[in-house]
Amino acid sequence: MTELDPLSIAVIRGRLEQIADEMDTVFERMAFSPVISDAWDRADGIYSATDGSMIVQGTRGLPIFVGTMQYTVASVIAQARDASPGDTFLVNDPFAGGTHIMDTKMVRPFFYRGELFAYLANTGHWPDLGGRVPGGFGAGATDCYQEGLRLPPVKLFAGDELNADIVAILQTNSRLPEDVLGDIDAQATALRAGESRLTELLDEYGPELVTAVIESLRERSARQMRSHIAEIPDGTYHFTEEMDNDGITDEMLRVDALVTVAGDELTIDFSGSSAPCQGPMNSVYAATVSSSIVAVKHLFPDIPINSGIFEPITFVIPETVFLNAKPPRPVAGCAAETSQRIITAVMGALAEAAPDRVPAGSSATVNNLSIGGVHEDGTPFVLYVFLGGGYGGHPGGDGLSNGCSLMSIGRVQSIETLEQRYPLRFRQYSLRDGSAGHGRQRGGFGVHFEFEFTAAEGQASLLGDQAKTAPVGRAGGAPGETSSPWFEIGGERVTLPMISKGENVSLRAGDIVCLRTPGGGGYGPVSERAAEEIAQDIDRGYLDSETAARIYARTA
């Protein structure tokens, strides 16, 4: 058995994380699609050669992909038994360890001196792979075949030779064929960069020592997770989130989290959730598990991310609920919307057990907006954008304003990028007045995101949520505001029938799109907010003196 010392563990752990971070950087710098290059909707990691379990993921990769990519790698291992050096597999099937169809994975076996050592994998959000609406977020989809081209693990590169036939299929099924080719190159190059750096690491330290450190890191994360769980009082805790609707039927969907703590083990049971739904808000098993892990990690951020964090946690997700959907259920809202309500439901249950660790409710929707059409020169465009919102107040302070989604580190694409690449002109992009929940610690503010469409015509689709239920206040704090999107079509303001969801809304030049995201809930009684913090909010323009006096029942 290889002897380990703390210095070797620290250095090799840092090198592994740096390799994943470098893959992220290469991917985003080379990607054609702004949602990857500018909004960082991507992740890279290193995975076990035996079962696909996670060794390390980049520190800037989307947290939702923490769990899902190890399921993706496992599906490649199961279906692609003839892997050779230089091979790279492509898969976007949500039911093969994915999220939604647009999240496209590449998996590359890594060989060291002729022996399979690990798998390198990444995920990038491709803005269009066909489907009933540009961008794939069809709120009216009733099966997964309407959402776009679905690929099982296929060998895109054989010995580093690109399969032109697969590329032709991908480009033919996309409204943005050139972007597809550019993103393929970026994603594959990122994996090759990881291969080069991992080879250097093994050359320097040897595969035996690196393997021993990887196993040690897994064991340490598992022990650390168990230690944190053991700090939570034993018991069963419960919280339910309700989603607006499934996009087809205007009935709320229930995300029911029953969390049981027993010693150093945790069980998360979703059996009480709604049945599989007709519309695209279903979640697949891998995304539900990963979202739950993200929720737990919000409480214990110090634990290094690898497969060890999963070991003390048991999941109960029967196929009778919409959080373990099977084909042909539509799942476009899985990653960006349903995942966030899974996170807030699990955190809500844990708030009963550890109220000092869990903030008030946060914005749990990104308002997936996609608009497709044709530029004046005849070239097609597909805009896809997601937004941030307010985080909940917490014992240590006010919530973050315009924070990224709970399952992401992705950011809003820059206004300059959006106006340069797409036919739109911004009217307002600001913090949303009055959206934050009040309390001893105030919630963060959502955003007001409004632009004028400038092309001759286009089709807009919106897949969001949280327009009916607000981010909750905790410990006596007030809730934040709900999501509130609207369109102005031909001079008339329009709210979609499902409020947060709709597809193929016809736009003409001069029409307006406005998305207003939720603010975070407040934490603690409003009466206990410090006078200097109220004065600071007034000074920053967050509220005026009259409103402050009314809310806090005293002169600020």
Structural domains of the chain, count: 2
Tell which residue, 7, 122, 536, 129, has the closest CA to residue 552: 536
Cβ neighbourhood burial of 10 (10 Å; 0-12, 13-18, 19+): exposed
> In this structure, is residue 64 part of a structural domain?
yes
**pLDDT value at residue 555:** 40
- Contact indicator for 533, 526 with CB cutoff of 8 Å: no
12-66: pLDDT as tens digits: 999 999 999 999 999 999 999 999 999 999 999 999 999 999 999 988 888 888 7
Band (82; pLDDT cuts 50, 70, 90): confident
Domain that holds residue 68: 6-221
> What's the average model confidence in pLDDT over 399-424?
92
Q: Tell which phi-psi region holds residue 434, choosing left (phi > 0), alpha (psi between -120 and 50) or beta.
A: left
> In this structure, is residue 414 part of a structural domain?
yes
Per-residue exposure over 356-389, b if at least 16 CB sit within 10 Å of its own CB, e if not: ebbbbbbbbbbbbbbbbbeeeeeebbbbbbbbbb
DSSP summary character for residue 474: B
Element containing residue 345 per DSSP (H, E): helix 339-353
**pLDDT value at residue 435:** 97
Per-residue exposure over 511-526, b if at least 16 CB sit within 10 Å of its own CB, e if not: bbbbbbbbbbbbbbeb
235-257: pLDDT as tens digits: 999 999 999 999 999 999 999 99
Strand partners, 157: 88, 162
In angstroms, the CA 28 to CA 38 distance is 7
**Candidate from 64-68, 93-97, 511-515 with smallest mean pLDDT:** 64-68
Rg (CA), the chain: 23
Tokens 């399969």, located at residue: 163
Band (3; pLDDT cuts 50, 70, 90): confident
- Give how far Cα 213 sits from Cα of 2, 108, 303, Å: 9, 22, 16
> What's the average model confidence in pLDDT over 542-551?
90
Work out the number of other CB atoms within 10 angstroms of the CB of residue 485: 23
> In this structure, is residue 288 part of a structural domain?
no
Q: Examine the fold and report which residue of 221, 255, 270 is the final residue of a domain before the chain moves on.
A: 221
> In this structure, is residue 465 part of a structural domain?
yes
> In this structure, is residue 300 part of a structural domain?
no
The length of the chain in residues reads: 556
DSSP string, 356-413: TT-PSP------EEEEEEE-TTS-EEEEEE---BPPPPBTTBPPPTTBPPTT----PP
Q: Examine the fold and report which residue of 221, 244, 276 is the final residue of a domain before the chain moves on.
A: 221
163-220: pLDDT as tens digits: 999 999 999 999 999 999 999 999 999 999 999 999 999 999 999 999 999 999 999 9
* 373 Cβ contact list (under 8 Å, min separation 6): 134, 380, 381, 423, 455, 456, 457, 458, 459, 507
- Contact indicator for 31, 37 with CB cutoff of 8 Å: yes
- Contact indicator for 437, 477 with CB cutoff of 8 Å: yes
Q: Examine the fold and report which residue of 195, 221, 247 is the final residue of a domain before the chain moves on.
A: 221
480 pLDDT exceeds 90? yes
Q: What is the value of pTM for the model shown?
A: 0.96
- Contact indicator for 514, 491 with CB cutoff of 8 Å: no
Tell which residue, 109, 97, 124, 99, has the closest CA to residue 180: 124
452 pLDDT exceeds 60? yes
339-367: pLDDT as tens digits: 999 999 999 999 999 999 999 999 999 99
In angstroms, the CA 539 to CA 470 distance is 27
In terms of DSSP bridges, do strands 486-489 and 424-431 run parallel, antiparallel, or are they unpaired?
Answer: unpaired
Strand partners, 243: 253
405 CA to centre of own chain = 7
Element containing residue 489 per DSSP (H, E): strand 486-489
> In this structure, is residue 545 part of a structural domain?
no
Band (554; pLDDT cuts 50, 70, 90): low
Task: Write down the H helix ranges in 233-325.
Answer: 285-299
Read off φ and ψ for residue 71, nearest 5 degrees.
-70, -35
Mean pLDDT of the chain: 95
Tell which residue, 286, 338, 278, has the closest CA to residue 68: 286
* Cis peptide upstream of residue 109 (ω within 30 degrees of 0): no
Work out the number of other CB atoms within 10 angstroms of the CB of residue 115: 9
> In this structure, is residue 286 part of a structural domain?
no
In angstroms, the CA 224 to CA 219 distance is 9
> In this structure, is residue 211 part of a structural domain?
yes
